[in-house]
A and B are shown apart, each in its own frame.
Chain A
């Protein structure tokens, strides 16, 4: 296993377009998280899954954002009708439930630029 993979690494889009990011977690990890990181800030929590169930969504996740994790494997984060304020690094992380739950392994991130 090579860790948490994210695709694409960079995405440039025009305002109003839809974008989708994919995250492949470490295979044995049943928890998956999405964070957003803007310039000069630490990562901010967006949402989290345990297996296929989305258990929590941040208020940062507007109606234009949707995340899925079908079959508890990979996850997708879709942003509809992108706005310039959506420009950020979108980080995915995974962990094991239980005693290792708070030890997150992060991916390299997907950087979104909205023109």
Chain B
């Protein structure tokens, strides 16, 4: 069974600064997808970024980028130029890339607060 671990329950960052959220996972699969989801207070969860395990290049979406270390089973999220709207719970998630895969496994989340 896959597990996803987020070791930082809470973090804070000054507006305009950079912050990195950590995620490690455990799997015996060789091909899979990793995700970071953002859940603002009382609002729906939205996809921030997706990484395919067979791609060595780290995914980037505007101010969000990942550091994917497959051998170490590590998948961290870097947020550059932090904005007040980045305040949210951030969840790391994993899914097997097999054709019949349907179940996302989530970590417990990291609560990020951006301080003005």
Please give the residue numbers on chain A whose beta carbons come within 8 Å of chain B beta carbons, in ascending order. 3-4, 31, 33, 35, 40-45, 48, 55-56, 91, 101-109
Residue of B nearest to A49 (CB): B102
Q: Across the interface, do B102 and A101 meet the contact criterion of CB distance under 8 Å?
A: yes
Main secondary structure of the interface of A (DSSP, over half): loop
Q: Across the interface, do B45 and A91 meet the contact criterion of CB distance under 8 Å?
A: yes
Tell me whether B56 is interfacial, beta carbon within 8 Å: no
Q: Across the interface, do B109 and A42 meet the contact criterion of CB distance under 8 Å?
A: yes
Residue among B46, B93, B97, B104 with the most chain A CB within 10 A? B104
Please give the residue numbers on chain B whose beta carbons come within 8 Å of chain A beta carbons, in ascending order. 4, 33, 37, 42-47, 50, 91, 93, 95, 97, 101-109
> Given A42-B109, A43-B91: A104 and B104 within 8 A (CB)?
yes
A41 and B50 alpha carbons, distance in the complex (Å): 21
A91 and B102 alpha carbons, distance in the complex (Å): 15
Q: Across the interface, do B45 and A40 meet the contact criterion of CB distance under 8 Å?
A: no
